[in-house]
């Protein structure tokens, strides 16, 4: 304990980096978002065009480029592979956990800071996000550091915090676009209003014109260049389709009712989100006498409300608020749970957590049983019994009035669950993915072409782009010139599949937990 007090920052960094980068290279890239982002970075590396992003040779307007830049750096350090694509996601997760710990320590003390860190480390779905080659880990970091920097500037008045605040927003704009500015732009005025400090003088104190210069200096050049080099096509696709349209209408089937986003937060911060309702109530009351708690409460509540109103809803959308929601949870658990104050609400939350822990391995067994190619490995769901044990032990030690051991049992059980998932379960499951099977069956130098559509994981794993043919006439002509080539498709159209019956089917594999099947043919 003396070592931790002396080297707490170093210890927090080491533990966080071990959790956030655990086994990131043990399983291939196969999820659609990971596949397209990591492949866009690979094509950027190959073409040396660091302005315009492409996926399989086609303009990709989904996201700005900052995460591509870091993936390219990962490829240069570690090679074009899953580890290289995911490495900096884990590093930005580590940095998010570290700055959260240090800021909570400054304003609420070390004990609450440790509880905040433990909550973040044991939040399985948040930690999983930092294992993915997607832009969200970077956005979570930049939103987190921008908001903490604002609060530090507001309380301490040091210019360095204000410059960090604007710089973080600028880099956030290069990560996922306007959301990096919208969230602080909503949260800060409301916080100032609660402080009865929303006035022209307080706004000018934030030096908004200096902020505008910093934002334009960081994000402006790339947005200008990509606009010019694509004749406005990227600008239109990104801002109209992937921002305004996503907020105003449901995109790609990712919708839901108003309370979908709160449910995502409950899921994303398990296990300790079992205490979320009473923690928010307690945080609201305590926030009236503590500015840091009030600020954390508003960050969580406003972010939740914003993405609940949005028509498109995804589990990763509210994640930039998770460090602040963790603060609210940690403060509540530190004041109530860890200090030995028994409450009925805590009792029922622990029962709910125990039920969730029991349901997870059962649900996992059923889920794997529904996938024909995964029935043989459905035993992997038994790993989730760790969450069952965590819930039972947490409840047992709470009943025995050993509150700290109850807290530790829950946290350790869920952290171990994550490590086993990343190190054993995912590598085993992904062996049954279409791209993993194709890598086993096809020669590494095989000539390949796609018909109509194909699994997005193929380009990054085979490290090439795929010509896409749209008719049997084109396929026949291609096979005449390349008689040993392979035809890949995951079309679901029965008429299109019937056209391919004249070819020889060598591989048929359903995607993991998705409604499409990859088929590979030869002449």
Where are the domains positioned within the chain? 2-244, 357-432, 434-522
Task: Answer for the pair 411, 122: CB distance below 8 angstroms, yes or no.
Answer: yes
| Average predicted confidence (pLDDT) for the chain | 94
Confidence of residue 256 (pLDDT cuts 50, 70, 90): confident
Confidence of residue 254 (pLDDT cuts 50, 70, 90): low
Which helix or strand (DSSP H or E) is residue 96 part of? helix 82-108
Q: What share of residues in the chain are helix, strand, coil (percent, to 5)?
A: 70, 5, 25
Q: What is the pLDDT of residue 214?
A: 98
Q: What is the pLDDT of residue 249?
A: 67
Considering just the CA atoms, what is the radius of gyration of the chain in Å? 25
| CA dist., res. 392 & res. 410, Å (int) | 9
Mean pLDDT, residues 446-472: 94
Please say whether the dihedral angle defined by the alpha carbons of residues 339, 345, 348 and 354, taken in this order, is positive or negative: negative
Q: What is the pLDDT of residue 463?
A: 95
Which helix or strand (DSSP H or E) is residue 469 part of? strand 468-469
Tens digits of per-residue pLDDT, 304-353? 999 999 888 889 999 999 999 999 999 999 987 767 778 888 999 999 99
Is it the case that residue 408 has pLDDT exceeding 90?
A: yes
Q: What is the pLDDT of residue 68?
A: 98
Q: What is the pLDDT of residue 126?
A: 97
Task: Answer for the pair 115, 279: CB distance below 8 angstroms, yes or no.
Answer: no
| CA dist., res. 80 & res. 42, Å (int) | 7
Is it the case that residue 46 has pLDDT exceeding 70?
A: yes
Task: Answer for the pair 146, 169: CB distance below 8 angstroms, yes or no.
Answer: yes
Of 82, 97, 92, 177, the C-alpha closest to 130 is: 92
Q: What is the pLDDT of residue 1?
A: 62
Q: Which residues contact 238 (CB under 8 A, 6 or more apart)?
A: 61, 62, 63, 64, 177
Mean pLDDT, residues 102-128: 97
DSSP-derived letter for residue 508 is E
Tens digits of per-residue pLDDT, 155-190? 999 999 999 999 999 999 999 999 999 999 999 999
Question: Which of 203-212, 288-297, 305-314 has the weakest average pLDDT?
Answer: 305-314
Q: What is the pLDDT of residue 255?
A: 66
User: Could you identify the residue written with the tokens 């003088």?
Assistant: 201
| CA dist., res. 466 & res. 462, Å (int) | 10
Q: Two tokens at 230? A: 């694509």
Is it the case that residue 252 has pLDDT exceeding 70?
A: no
| CA dist., res. 2 & res. 7, Å (int) | 9
Q: Residue 196, SS3? A: coil
Confidence of residue 253 (pLDDT cuts 50, 70, 90): low
Mean pLDDT, residues 194-218: 96
Mean pLDDT, residues 253-269: 85
Higher-confidence residue of 337 and 268: namely 268
Tens digits of per-residue pLDDT, 363-394? 999 999 998 889 999 999 999 999 999 999 99
Is it the case that residue 429 has pLDDT exceeding 70?
A: yes
| 82-108 helix and 136-156 helix, angle to the nearest 10 degrees | 20
Q: Where are the alpha helices (DSSP H) in 195-309?
A: 200-205, 208-229, 233-236, 245-248, 260-268, 276-287, 291-309
Residue 339 to residues 81, 117, 192, 367, 402: CA-CA distances in angstroms?
Answer: 47, 18, 32, 39, 10
pTM score, whole prediction: 0.96
Tens digits of per-residue pLDDT, 71-105? 999 999 999 999 999 999 999 999 999 999 999 99
Question: Which of 89-103, 265-279, 331-345, 407-421 has the weakest average pLDDT?
Answer: 331-345
| Residue 387 φ then ψ, to 5° | -70, -30
Q: What is the pLDDT of residue 251?
A: 61
Tens digits of per-residue pLDDT, 221-237? 999 999 999 999 999 99
Mean pLDDT, residues 27-49: 97
Q: Which residues contact 363 (CB under 8 A, 6 or more apart)?
A: 381
Of 421, 419, 429, the C-alpha closest to 20 is: 419
**CB pairs under 8 A, 24+ apart, for 368-372?**
371/510, 371/512, 371/513, 372/510
Q: Are strands 58-59 and 486-489 parallel, antiparallel or unpaired?
A: unpaired
Which helix or strand (DSSP H or E) is residue 509 part of? strand 504-510
Which helix or strand (DSSP H or E) is residue 185 part of? helix 179-194
Share of the chain above pLDDT 70, in %: 98
Q: Two tokens at 227? A: 């606009």
Confidence of residue 242 (pLDDT cuts 50, 70, 90): confident
Pick the CATH number of 434-522 from 1.10.540, 1.10.3720, 3.40.50, 3.40.190: 3.40.190
Peptide bond into 189 cis (omega under 30): no
């Amino acid at each position: 304990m003396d070592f931790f007090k002396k080297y707490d920052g170093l210890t927090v960094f080491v533990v966080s980096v071990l959790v956030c980068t655990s086994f990131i290279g043990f399983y291939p890239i196969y999820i659609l978002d990971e596949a397209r982002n990591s492949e866009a970075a690979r094509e950027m590396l190959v073409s040396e065009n660091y302005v315009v992003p492409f996926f399989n040779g086609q303009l990709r307007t989904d996201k700005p480029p900052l995460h591509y830049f870091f993936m390219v750096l990962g490829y240069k350090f570690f090679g074009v592979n899953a580890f290289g694509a995911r490495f900096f996601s884990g590093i930005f997760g580590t940095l998010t956990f570290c700055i959260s710990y240090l800021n909570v320590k400054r304003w609420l003390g070390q004990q609450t800071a440790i509880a905040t860190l433990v909550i973040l480390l044991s939040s399985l779905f948040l930690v999983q996000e930092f294992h993915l080659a997607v832009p969200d880990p970077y956005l979570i970091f930049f939103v987190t550091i921008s908001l903490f920097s604002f609060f530090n500037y507001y309380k301490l008045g040091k210019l360095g915090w204000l410059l960090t605040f604007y710089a973080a927003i600028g880099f956030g704009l290069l990560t996922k676009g306007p959301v990096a500015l919208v969230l602080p732009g909503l949260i800060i005025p409301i916080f100032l209003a609660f402080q009865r400090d929303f006035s022209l003088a307080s706004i000018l104190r934030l030096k908004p014109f200096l902020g505008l210069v910093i934002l334009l200096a960081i994000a402006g050049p790339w947005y200008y260049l990509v606009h010019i080099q694509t004749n406005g096509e990227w600008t239109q696709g990104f801002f109209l389709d992937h921002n305004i349209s996503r907020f105003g209408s449901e995109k790609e089937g990712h919708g839901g009712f108003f309370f979908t986003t709160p449910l995502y937060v409950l899921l994303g911060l398990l296990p300790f989100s079992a205490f979320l309702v009473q923690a928010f109530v307690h945080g609201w009351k305590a926030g009236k006498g503590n500015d840091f708690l009030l600020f954390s409460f508003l960050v969580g509540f406003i972010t939740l409300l914003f993405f609940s109103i949005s028509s498109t809803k995804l589990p990763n959308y509210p994640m930039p608020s998770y460090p602040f929601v963790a603060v609210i949870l940690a403060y509540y658990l530190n004041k109530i749970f860890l200090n030995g104050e028994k409450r009925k609400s805590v009792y029922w939350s622990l029962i709910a957590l125990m039920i969730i822990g029991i349901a997870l391995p059962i649900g996992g067994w059923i889920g794997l049983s529904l996938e024909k190619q995964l029935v043989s490995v459905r035993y992997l769901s038994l790993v989730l019994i760790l969450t069952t044990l965590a819930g039972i032990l947490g409840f047992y030690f709470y009943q025995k009035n050993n509150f700290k051991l109850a807290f530790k049992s829950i946290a350790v059980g869920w952290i171990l669950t994550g490590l086993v998932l990343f190190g054993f379960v995912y590598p085993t499951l992904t062996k049954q993915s279409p791209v993993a099977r194709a890598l086993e069956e096809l020669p590494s130098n095989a000539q390949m072409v796609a018909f109509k559509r194909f699994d997005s994981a193929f380009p990054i794993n085979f490290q090439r782009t795929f010509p896409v043919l749209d008719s049997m006439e084109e396929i026949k002509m291609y096979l005449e010139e390349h008689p040993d080539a392979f035809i890949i498709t995951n079309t679901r159209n029965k008429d299109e599949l019937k056209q391919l019956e004249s070819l020889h089917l060598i591989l048929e594999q359903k995607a993991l937990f998705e409604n499409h099947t990859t088929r590979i043919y030869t002449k």
